[in-house]
Chains A and B, each alone.
Chain A
Amino acid sequence: MYDVIVIGAGVTGCGIARELARYDWKTAVLERASDVCEGTSKANSGIVHAGFDAKPGSLKAKLNVEGSRQMESLSKELDFPFLRNGSLVLCFDEKDIPILHNLLEQGLQNGVEGLEILDREQLKRLEPNISDDAVAALHAPTGGIVCPFGLTIALAENAAVNGVEFHLDTEVQRIEKTSDGYLVYTSRGEFETKVLINAAGVYADRFHNMVSGEKIHIIPRKGEYCLMDKKAGGFVRHTIFQLPTVYGKGVLVTPTVHGNLLTGPTAADIEDKEAVNTTEPGMEELLRRASLSVNGLPVRQVITSFAGLRAHEERGDFIIGEAKDAPGFFDAAGIESPGLTCAPALGRYLAGQVLAYLPAKEKPGFIAARKGIPNMGQASLQERQRLIAENPLYANVVCRCELVTEGEILDAIHRPLGATTLDGIKRRTRAGMGRCQAGFCSPKVVEILARELGKDVGEISKRGEGSRFLTGYLKDSAEASESERCESGKAAE
C-alpha cells in the first residue's frame, strides 16, 4: 500500500514528486514511457515566463510568478541550466501599443518586477536583428530560459534519491475506488494507494474521468518547433514574443540555454494524443510567423524540427487540487504554458494540499541538493582539466558536435534513474543534439549503453521497446566480429 502515487513523470509529475519526497510518505511515480520527460516536457519552448500573461488573482498567475522567482535558486540547488535572459513582447502596430500597456499593468498586479515599455530605438539597440516592423515592445527582464530536460530530470533524480519509487514502462490502464483510496491497474501489475495524483499531461482527462463525474476534456494543442545550429545562437539574446492571441503566446524566437536558436510553437488543436509529428503546413506557418519578429531568420541553420502537444483544458485554466467527488484524487491537469515555469511552485502547492488530506512528518534526512552531470562542452579550461584529472574518460570525446565525453555518458547511465536509451543519453548529456544529429555518435553511444547495461547492442533502443535501432545480424554472420573492434579511448596503438 502506497501513501501517494503520481501518474506521469513529466515536469509537473516530477515537480510534485520532489515536493512529496520531503515527507515520510511511501510514494511512487508511474510512467508509461521508458524514461522521465518523454511527453510534453521534452518538446516545448524551455521558457521561464516572467508572469505578466496570466489573469491577476488566478492560481496560474500566482504559480507563474512564484515559479519564476524560485527558478534561479532551484537551478543552483538541483544543478540544471537556467539563464535569466529577459523577454520582449513585440507590437507591430501603433494602435496595439495600449495592449502592451495592459500587459504591463497586468504584470505589475501579478508582482512581476522590472517591466518597461521600449520604443523602436530602444528595442533596436537591445536586439539589432529585430524586425523593422516592430514599433514597440514590453521588456520583462525577469523572463528566463531553462533546459526543460535538465529541469525535469533534476526534479526526478532528486525525488528518487529521497526515496520516491519510479516505475517506468508502467502504463495506467484502469483506476478503481477502494474504501480508503484507489487501486491502480497498470501494464505492470496493481498498485494500491491512499492518495492518487493525476499529472498525466494530455491524458489527464482520461484518468480524471475514471474517478470523477465532473468530466474534463483535454485538447492536445500541437506546437511545432525548429531548432537552429549554435552558429545561429547569438542571433537574438532575449526571448522574443509577439502580442498574444487566443491560441496563446504565439510564435517566439529565443536562444536556448545551450546556445542554439529556437523558434516555435505553432498552435493547432487536434484529436490524436499521440500525434507528435511535424507537418509541412506547420513548418511553413512557423517560419512565416517567426520571420515577422526578426530580420533574416537563419532558416538554413535548422538542425532539427519537433512537435509537442500542450495539454489544453477546454476551459483554458489549470485544474489543480482534489476532485470534488473523488476524495484523495488530486489533479494537476490542463497544465499548458506556463506549466514548465510553474512546476516547482505547483509541486509545493499540491504537496501542501495532500498534506492537509493525509498528514505526514517531514523526513529528517531529506537531501535538497543534487549535483548534475558535468558538461565538458561548456566547462572552462580549468574545470575541464580538473574533471580529466579526476577521470580520464572525460577526455574521450564520443559526440564531436556537442563535445560530450565517455565520462559524461557513463555518468548518465549510472546515476539514479539513469539513462537506458539513446534519447535518455541525449537528454542528459546532449550527445546527438548537435549539427550532425547523432550520425557519428549514435553507434558509439549504443555500444556504450549495451556494454554498461549488460545487453546486446541489438536490444538498445531510441526510447524503449518498439524503437530498437537494429533488426538483426547480417545474413551470414551469427555475431559481429569482435577482433576488429578497436579499443575505445586509446591514443596510441
Chain B
Amino acid sequence: MKKDLVIIGGGPAGLAAAIAAREAGVEELLILERDCRLGGILNQCIHNGFGLHTFKEELTGPEYADRYIGKAKTLGIPYRLNTMVVDLRAEGQQKKLTVMNREEGLYEIEAKAVILAMGCRERTRGALNIPGFRPAGIYSAGTAQRYVNMEGRMPGREVVILGSGDIGLIMARRMTLEGARVKLVAELMPYSGGLKRNIVQCLEDFGIPLRLSHTVVDIKGRDRVEGVTIARVDGNLKPIPGTEEEISCDTLLLSCGLIPENELSQGLGAAMNPVTGGPFVNESLETDKEGVFACGNVLHVHDLVDYVSQEAEAAGRKAAAYLRGGLEGTGRVVSLRAAEGVRYTVPASLDIGRMEEAQTVRFRVGDVYRDAAIEVSCDGRILRSVKKKVLAPGEMEQIILKKQELEAADNPKEIVISVRTQGQGKEA
C-alpha cells in the first residue's frame, strides 16, 4: 500500500493533523489507530472543560473528540482501527510502516510523509520504585478512569492517590462522586503537578486533602491493597524517618507523570529530547528525519487538548507543504535554548526563511515562581520580557516569536528563553 501521508494515532492530535492536512490538499492519507475507536484518551475523559480555546465553549472529552471525528468523516479521511504499527523505518525519503490488524493481517505501507501522534502513557509504580507488596488495587489514574467511565465499574472504595497530575485530580473527584472515599492526595513535590483549576474544583471543593512533599513509602496487602504508608520528604525528595503515617485503603491510584510513547520514533532513529521524552522538532514540527512530523503528547505532554489541536493542525499543514515540495530549508537556522528556570522549548530550532509570520514556542518551567518574567533574548539582546504573576511546572507556557523581529536581527544564531525572577523570586 502506498500513501502520501500516514498519521500514526487517531486521538486528538492525529485527528486534527489529518483534518488540517486534508484541508491543505493532501488526498492520499490514512490514520492508523491502535484502539477500537477514534478519539484516543478523550473518550474516557467525560468531565467538561475541553474546548474553551478552540470552540469557546465547555465540552466533555467525548464531545470534543466527536467534533473532530465528525469533521474527519465529512472530509472522507480514511482510517484503520485496531491497527498496530509494529515498525517504522526510513529508506531514503521513503518511510516504511509495518502494520497489522485482524482484517488485513500484517502488511507494509510506504509513505512519503508521516505524522507521529501516538500520545503518551502513565508513569508506573515500577518506574517510581515504590517498595511494598504487589497486590491488586494499584492502578494508574488513567486505568481507573477507564474502568469507571468506560466500563461503569468501581476499581475500589477507599482510595489514596499518589501524585497530583491532572488525571489523578479528576479521578479524586470522579470516584468521590461515585461514592468512594478518597482519603488524600500525596504529592512528592512541594507544588502540585496539575492545573490550578483542577486543585480547586476536584480537591478543595470536596474537602480532599492535598499533602505536598509527601510520598508513598510502603504498600500493604498481599492479595488486595490493605493500606499504604506515606511519609514527608526532605529537600532532596527523600522520605524523612519518623514522619510515616499508615493509611488504610483498598486502592492506590498513581498520577505521577506522563511519558510520551516514542518507541516507534526511537526505532526510526529520530533524535530525542531527554527532557520531554519526545523528539526534537523544528518550527515545522518536523523531526530530524525528513518528512516525519510530531505533535501532541508524543512530542511533549500538554495540559490542554486545545493546544494539542493547534499544534497538530500546524503539523498537518506543514506535512502538506512538505508533500508539495514547499518546505525547503533556507539555511537561516536559529536554535532555541531553554535557560534558567525553563526546562525545554518546542520547537528546538527554527528556520527564519521558512517560518510563519508568528511562531508559537511552548515550554514548561521547572519550579513555582511568583511575580517573575519570561525573558526572550536573541544572541544576548533582550527581545521581550513578559511579566507573569505565577509560573508553575503544571501549566504549559507559550510565547510568540515574530518573523519580522528575527528578520530584523543581524544573522541571529540563538534564542534563549528563561525565567527572570524579581522581588521575592522563586517560591519553593
Contacts and interface: CB of A to CB of B under 8 A. Distances in A.
A393 B155 contact: no
Nearest to A442: B143
Contact of B82 (A439, A470, A488): A488
B157 interface: yes
A480 B153 contact: yes
A406 B155 CA distance: 24
A492 interface: yes
B147 A466 contact: no
Interface stretch (B122-130, B317-325, B392-400): B122-130
Interface in B189-234: 217-220, 222-224
B186 to A, nearest CB: 16
B36 A469 contact: no
A389 B107 CA distance: 12
A172 interface: no
A475 B136 contact: no
Nearest to A461: B136
Contact of A439 (B84, B122, B218, B224): B122
Given A280-B131, A486-B36, A490-B102, A403 B152 contact: no
A184 B83 CA distance: 52
Contacts of B219: 277
B105 interface: yes
A388 B126 contact: no
A327 to B, nearest CB: 36
Contacts of B86: 403
B36 A487 contact: yes
A395 B152 contact: no
A305 B80 contact: no
Given A443-B151, A470-B155, A436 B122 contact: yes
A186 interface: no
Given A470-B147, A480-B151, A492-B81, A388 B132 contact: no
A463 B219 CA distance: 17
Contact of A469 (B132, B150, B155): B155
B84 A400 contact: yes
A481 B152 contact: yes
Given A381-B106, A388-B105, A473-B153, A396 B82 contact: yes
Contacts of A469: 136-137, 147, 155
B133 interface: yes
Interface in B250-267: 250-251, 266
Contacts of B155: 469-471
A295 interface: no
24 contacts: A277-B219, A278-B132, A304-B126, A305-B126, A385-B105, A392-B105, A393-B102, A396-B101, A396-B102, A435-B124, A437-B125, A439-B143, A443-B146, A443-B151, A457-B151, A463-B223, A467-B136, A470-B147, A470-B155, A474-B178, A475-B179, A479-B152, A481-B152, A488-B82
A447 to B, nearest CB: 8
Q: How large is the interface on A (under 10, 10 to 19, 20 to 34, 35 or more residues)?
A: 35 or more
A432 B154 CA distance: 21
Interface in B56-112: 80-84, 86, 98, 100-106
**Chain B CB within 10 Å, residue with most, of A276, A279, A440, A465:** A440
Given A436-B121, A475-B179, A489 B102 contact: yes
Interface string B30-67: 00001011000000000000000000000000000000
Contacts of A389: 105
Contacts of B36: 486-490
A462 interface: yes
Contacts of B121: 435-436, 439-440
A481 B46 CA distance: 15
Contacts of B122: 436, 439
A491 interface: yes
- How many residues of B sit at the interface, in one of the four size bands? 35 or more
B106 A278 contact: no
A463 B150 CA distance: 24
B156 interface: yes
Q: Can you list the 3 inter-chain pairs with the closest CB atoms, starting with the nearest? A: A304-B126, A466-B223, A480-B152
A436 to B, nearest CB: 5
A477 interface: yes
Nearest to B238: A280
Interface in A141-161: none
A490 B383 CA distance: 53
Nearest to A422: B136
A305 B105 contact: no
Given A486-B37, A491-B82, A392 B106 contact: no
Given A395-B104, A474-B148, 19 more contacts: A277-B131, A305-B126, A395-B101, A395-B106, A396-B102, A435-B121, A436-B121, A439-B143, A443-B147, A462-B223, A463-B136, A467-B224, A468-B136, A471-B156, A472-B153, A474-B178, A475-B179, A479-B152, A481-B152
A403 B155 CA distance: 26
Contacts of B98: 381
Interface of A: 226-227, 231, 274, 276-280, 282-283, 302-306, 381, 384-385, 388-389, 392-393, 395-397, 400, 403, 406, 435-437, 439-440, 442-443, 457-458, 461-475, 477, 479-481, 484, 486-493
Contact of A473 (B133, B136, B140, B152): B152
B152 A397 contact: no
A443 B143 CA distance: 8
Contacts of A479: 152
Given A395-B101, A484-B150, A277 B84 contact: no
Given A457-B153, A474-B178, A487-B36, A466 B131 contact: no
Nearest to B250: A471
B103 A492 contact: yes
B142 interface: yes
A493 B124 contact: no
B251 to A, nearest CB: 8
A392 B102 contact: yes
B215 to A, nearest CB: 11
Given A491-B81, A493-B81, A306 B34 contact: no
Contact of A491 (B102, B134, B135, B136): B102
A467 B223 contact: yes
Given A280-B217, A467-B135, A388 B129 contact: no
A443 to B, nearest CB: 5
B227 to A, nearest CB: 12
A52 to B, nearest CB: 33
Contacts of A458: 153
B105 A464 contact: no
A392 to B, nearest CB: 5
A462 B222 contact: no
Contact of A472 (B154, B218, B223): B154
Contacts of A464: 223
A440 B124 CA distance: 11
Contacts of B127: 302-303, 435, 437
Nearest to B180: A471
A397 B84 contact: yes
B142 to A, nearest CB: 7
A368 B43 CA distance: 49
A432 to B, nearest CB: 11
B223 A303 contact: no
A303 B82 contact: no
Interface in B1-57: 34, 36-37
Contacts of B250: 471
A274 B102 contact: no
Contacts of A395: 100-102, 104-106
A481 B151 CA distance: 7
Nearest to A397: B84
A283 B81 CA distance: 42
Nearest to B149: A474
